[in-house]
Structure 1
């Protein structure tokens, strides 16, 4: 990723200072837009059409294929340039698929844009961020990301600048304070005047960094990149060396030497493997987009297939994010009516409109007289309480009981019973004036408790059951009381939900990996602790997915291997996450994971088919450099093998259902699966060349024998890839066999195949019997190697700590 340039100072222009309640007029906004002072710095999620064409057309291997074709044409060999047809088809498929993906992504991304509340001529208007202009008055609330540099005009905000500084410290912003683009609002509400917009502010660079536009290559794509780089260094000098060697053979002619050399080079190029992976991932992305799933990074599809631990927030994920008041418990000396009145006063006076506030507003009526407040401390996930101060110097505080008034309460038994039922408890207390800092007032006395119930999200239990069946461990991380979190998780069917931890009691130097492995539910978790739990699990060797919807999930989402956000939650969480569920439907997760596993499993199987050709071509060339034989295959014969033994079956296999969790090293696994076929193919080419030379067979006879026997090798490898056989897989193997030998006999002149002499026919039968035995021996050896490597990985994998059970004393 290129380093961002320092933002240039804005072009001098007439500045306006509109009232926070009036904002700009429509005419002023139009004038600003005409002057080019709109907030249009965001980059699109998808490539441009030009980028797609450039990335597909101008590649090293495309230029190499063109150069090889030019060499064949130069020596008058037009027939063997048919491999360009395969290259052209691959190129066309790649461009068409990427353009289709771009169309779907652009449409879904447009739907996914979160509008911003702007004040124009005294009215609140919802506009996309790129339609904001300089000096606009914009409303910000909890979860909003600051979309351009601004000056707070009214209200009070608590801002997290973690995406700028890397620190999760909450910073209080009062009128006149500068709001930096890329930071996000944790608590409070206010209106700000945009000070810098578009390219003149930090919004473009910071927002794009938060959304991870720096593409992180997955393990599979990195392995393919290394493989292709290695081949690019080897192919050209090896081809030149082979050509020189072929020309040195007795009776060698330039056209034949060029043709066989290019056949060897084409055989070493995995022209379809990289395309197969890119197209398969792109098609998968397009399918997810149709399910209303927005994918920011292709790499996350592979990571999803490897996930073994799923961490999720309770609110908005397991639960629907809506609350309902279920009961009250007034403190001694405070009647139920007085408690209800105080709760109504607080709920309707507070500026925050979170689910708790909405539930309280729906249950308790607004007081007749306004509070006359002079100061508010909004709720934040760090404090877990909110406060209002009246003009008389008195305050009301509402929050988690243990955070407001630690210690036993007046109705502790009822509180414990409610928490065990999975309900949420909030304590309302009265005190003196609020301190200058965001701290609790002195002289707090309890007024009473209010109990709220989270509603389970429809389909949550079925979704969690799916993950349990797939061997994925679920961890529930929440800022709520750990007992209530555990109860909700238990109701949803989370395995081991009774293994909970209260993170407030954990020291700063705690072993977060050990804690994360030995517990299932975590309560009273701060945003920084969520991040530490994710980091601890990754340090223990787990592949971790994180699902969240709030600003308190942002740090954990950034550190997870795969991050998923709900569209109904914070816009900052959506920008940081790799995947956004546009319908905020948790039950869509099984489809996403299954899609990732299907794509990865099928790509890994298909990759071994492509590598077989590369391995046998490479090994055969190495041997034939030192033996007095020409490379036996021509480019058109390589194209026949590549089309019917590699291209067609690999493409069809990528659509087959596959739900096994991906694991291991992609390239190592693919190479181990391909080595038996590759070695057998090399034995075929070298053995037939040597035997044909000993029997005095013509080069055309040797070439024909090698081409026919490679069909046996290809069918053997395809049979291994398709094992265990199903009706569809057996049909596929049979079709490829009939297609290969049907083309060989019906189109023999096209593929330069000759009628075999009796001696060549006997050699064909001998090798047709011997090659399956060679492949079986190689397969057995590869199986033993894979089993030994798997055993070594199991020994080196960190062991899971024994779960820690909680006593009644712990619960208290």
Structure 2
């Protein structure tokens, strides 16, 4: 602080007083944003009530009340119940996530009342003096008061280069400190900060980064929403004008068709499934910043991991310090051990490596007068070294390949045995040049080698074994020596870990893409290269997850389909990731994968049930328009079928464990399974209606027989998608059959179930057996057509 004015020094030393803080709090100058990416309580309630389909339900309810058809309002309790359940589950999930976010909320070291204290970043006020060190995310717009830091603003500007910030430089909120340490004064906080304004713009534009499942469901709902209004109008016109039906009958028939076309429970099912998964993961200390990450991680086929903090524990230990045998050019008075002590004492304790070295040097008990640093260059993940200037020379500490460069082969024999055993080795050397900031261009004479080790995580082997069984390829991407990383990866049980390469040799996109096919371990990877590796994997058609815990991982994490951070790592990485392991236990990764599979597979299976009804109602409505017959079913009958063949079994099946690997695209998978049942329904019911007209059967008989026929086909498809069966699935099937029979017998008036004539019963039996055969053959036909299409598509490629 020697070059600073007295006023600035006092500001840094004193900070704000309690009275000054309170004054700013009263003025609203607090670093608390009212703009959030998550839903507020109000937004959750409104998003579940003020929906397009709820508006449709309100309109058709008014129409049914208008014509006095109160019995056909049976869908209303289901809709109201769906809405309430959806609100309650989302609020419960929000409550749990809010509590976890508080635990994982960013903290800052602030100077107040002449003392340092750590507080939540949202409790900072304008003009607060904060201390920023490596790994911190800058929480508000600020100006550097004292010190020098290297900052990465890639998350804000897209510029990946590290920018040096010195006294007077502006710091943008949302950027993060890569190296160094400084005191900064907050200028713009809360809603006035740069990151908050960006967040507001992003929120106003909407979120296009939806998961495939949500995107597919939105597509379905969109097209159904567009189609139901004109179809409804045409059905009413046909019934009332063309077929000369009464106003009541025309409206009831139209409403029945529309209810059948609306997937009223599909959104609710998806919302509840995601909310329950979020809560289940929360109990395992897994925080989701983004619920779409559940699906993304469940689909992952390539997992990129960093060595430190993922394969190994975050803590680092110095095993030993070895004096170099090649330092003959130095005077005999040079003491490498003393230099190491002075070096460690001068560096800020802002990363795990320096922390480990400091712990080691404290045990050496060297108490002579220490050198005073003239200039300090903090460690950078780009240059792979740090540097200090003392009166007797310039010294560097870093990765041997980067520090020694073309002279690396001269020291390789001294350190090769340590590298091969999985140790990390740093070289401490004297630099003959003067400028160390922009890279080392002159000779470095090695003084000694620091041998460090990270203990491999206890459950690493089990975790990587799981991913191997699931067909997930693991790529290790690290800034350390590739041979060292390879050895660590082998001990962790990663398949093909002996295939390693130095990323410094991958200087073209073609080399990068080729290396990804051949190698498992990538060493000496820069932060930008990590990002390029992830992009190359995605361009090759892979679904990529990236795990990390340091600021050098953030660019790659932001580009991955799913990003996972350890809470024990840098604050910036934890805030940038979609998934945060709060206890930093990598063994939880299979839990997230399995939870994602449960959600996607179960929602996919249940969506088939909903889509069957939609396909049937749409096609039957079109057939009734084409052949000019009135839609044969009533809304109460559709509600009965929906309840016991779709709604209840769909929700119960969505809660069941499901470890099956996700394959194919959501919409295609759902359509392939729903189409045979939907076509079976419409062909069987349309044939029954035509036969009923031939035999001059009462319309009530035809409607009841159609309802029962839909129930039969509904349970056939339910049986099909529930395979393989277990006790729970048998229980679900029996419960719903019993429920439908009970309502058909004891609540027959409510659901418009009337007695059928003998001819009608006979037709029902015949068409039920025919429907089973039709469904079976249509399923085989559609599967064959899909295989043929896939072969043709593959040949074209």
| TM-score, structure 1 as length reference | 0.93
CA contact (8 A) 2:433 2:443 kept: no
TM-aligned CA deviation for residue 215 of structure 1:
6.3
User: Per the alignment, in what secondary structure is the counterpart of residue 294 of structure 1?
Assistant: strand
Q: Which residue of 1 aligns with 2:396?
A: 397
CA RMSD of aligned residues (A): 2.2
User: Per the alignment, in what secondary structure is the counterpart of residue 751 of structure 1?
Assistant: coil
Equivalenced residue count is 782
Alignment of 1:444-483 (within 5 A): 444-483=444-483
Determine whether 1:160 maps to 2:152.
yes
Residues 96 and 16 (structure 1 numbering): CA distance in 2 closer, same or farther, change over 3 Å?
Answer: farther
Determine whether 1:54 maps to 2:46.
yes
Q: Which residue of 1 aligns with 2:137?
A: 145
Q: Which residue of 1 aligns with 2:3?
A: none
User: Per the alignment, in what secondary structure is the counterpart of residue 85 of structure 1?
Assistant: helix
Residues 214 and 577 (structure 1 numbering): CA distance in 2 closer, same or farther, change over 3 Å?
Answer: farther
Residues 479 and 436 (structure 1 numbering): CA distance in 2 closer, same or farther, change over 3 Å?
Answer: closer
CA distance in 2, matches of 1:382, 1:132: 32
Q: Which residue of 1 aligns with 2:324?
A: 331
CA contact (8 A) 1:181 1:206 kept: no
Q: Which residue of 1 aligns with 2:125?
A: 133
Q: Which residue of 2 aligns with 1:175?
A: 167
Q: Which residue of 2 aligns with 1:220?
A: 213
CA distance in 1, matches of 2:705, 2:33: 62
Q: Which residue of 2 aligns with 1:82?
A: 74
Determine whether 1:379 maps to 2:379.
yes
CA contact (8 A) 2:134 2:181 kept: yes
CA distance in 2, matches of 1:189, 1:83: 63
CA contact (8 A) 1:134 1:195 kept: yes
Alignment of 1:665-680 (within 5 A): 665-680=665-680
Q: Which residue of 1 aligns with 2:344?
A: 347
TM-aligned CA deviation for residue 163 of structure 1:
2.0
User: Per the alignment, in what secondary structure is the counterpart of residue 364 of structure 1?
Assistant: helix
Determine whether 1:369 maps to 2:372.
no
TM-aligned CA deviation for residue 210 of structure 1:
10
User: Per the alignment, in what secondary structure is the counterpart of residue 657 of structure 2?
Assistant: coil
Alignment of 1:419-434 (within 5 A): 419-432=419-432, 434=434
TM-aligned CA deviation for residue 733 of structure 1:
2.1
CA contact (8 A) 2:138 2:173 kept: yes
State which drifts further: 648-657 or 477-486.
648-657
CA distance in 2, matches of 1:650, 1:123: 59
Q: Which residue of 1 aligns with 2:4?
A: none
Q: Which residue of 1 aligns with 2:289?
A: 296
Deviations 1:439-498 (CA, angstroms, capped at 9, x unpaired): 337453110112111111221111111111111111110000000011101000000101
Structure 1, gaps ≥5 residues long = 1-14, 798-812
Q: Which residue of 2 aligns with 1:96?
A: 88
CA contact (8 A) 1:432 1:441 kept: no
Q: Which residue of 2 aligns with 1:200?
A: 192
Alignment of 1:115-134 (within 5 A): 115-134=107-126
Q: Which residue of 1 aligns with 2:311?
A: 318
Residues 792 and 396 (structure 1 numbering): CA distance in 2 closer, same or farther, change over 3 Å?
Answer: farther
CA contact (8 A) 1:393 1:433 kept: no
CA distance in 1, matches of 2:333, 2:90: 63
State which drifts further: 657-666 or 597-606.
657-666
CA distance in 2, matches of 1:530, 1:54: 41
| TM-score, structure 2 as length reference | 0.94
TM-aligned CA deviation for residue 747 of structure 1:
2.2
Residues 371 and 17 (structure 1 numbering): CA distance in 2 closer, same or farther, change over 3 Å?
Answer: closer
Determine whether 1:659 maps to 2:659.
yes
User: Per the alignment, in what secondary structure is the counterpart of residue 109 of structure 2?
Assistant: strand
Q: Which residue of 1 aligns with 2:439?
A: 439
TM-aligned CA deviation for residue 110 of structure 1:
0.9
Determine whether 1:263 maps to 2:247.
no
Structure 2, gaps ≥5 residues long = 1-6
CA distance in 1, matches of 2:59, 2:389: 79
CA contact (8 A) 2:302 2:545 kept: yes
CA distance in 2, matches of 1:509, 1:251: 71
Deviations 1:77-104 (CA, angstroms, capped at 9, x unpaired): 1000111111011111101101101111
User: Per the alignment, in what secondary structure is the counterpart of residue 405 of structure 1?
Assistant: helix
Deviations 1:327-351 (CA, angstroms, capped at 9, x unpaired): 3332235899933222222112211
CA contact (8 A) 2:243 2:630 kept: no
